[in-house]
Amino acid sequence: MTGVVFLFTLARFEAADAQPHAKAAAADSSAVERGRYIVEDVAMCARCHTPGNQAGEGERSNWLKGGPLQIRATYPVANWAVITPRLAGGTPNTDAEFIRLLTTGIARTGAPPRPPMPTFHMTRPDAEAVLAYLKSLKN
């Protein structure tokens, strides 16, 4: 009889333990989706970080893989970037540096990012969602 009570108690414990994991997975999924929305529809990161085809259109096979910047300034701009970093699968920075870049507009160099990269002032949850989305992409 004791074994039956133990099994019942263990089953209740396992069911209760699984619930936080399900909530965490749902939260992760929600953060990734929010990050996708910010990257694709708000910040439009692919315009610079996705190499284009001959028509200048970004291709999904190169999605956020970085490369030569295909946007040119219409007038001389000091320090204009010519290469964009890969973002798919993670950023070239540490997570903390990337969050700082998106929340304060300060790059790992201690200065604002090179043009044409915008200076963002995202909330920390939005910056973390962007990072979660980028990490979710296949390399």
Q: How many CB atoms are closer than 10 A to CB 35?
A: 21
Q: Which fold has domain 24-136?
A: Cytochrome Bc1 Complex; Chain D, domain 2 (1.10.760)
Residue spans of the domains in the chain: they are 24-136
pLDDT at 15 over 50: no
In terms of pTM, does the model score above 0.85?
no
Average pLDDT over residues 62-79: 92
At 28, the pLDDT band (50, 70, 90 cuts) reads: confident
Residue 126 and residue 120 in contact, taking contact as beta carbons nearer than 8 Å: no
Longest dimension (CA), the chain: 84
pLDDT digits (tens, 9 = 90+) for 104-132: 999 999 999 999 999 999 999 999 999 99
User: Could you please report the per-residue DSSP string of the chain?
Assistant: -HHHHHHHHHHHHHHHHHHHHHHHHHHHHHHHHHHHHIIIIIS-THHHHS-B-TTS-B-GGGTT--EE-----SS--TT--SEE---TTS-SS-HHHHHHHHHHS--TTSSPPPTTS------HHHHHHHHHHHHHS--
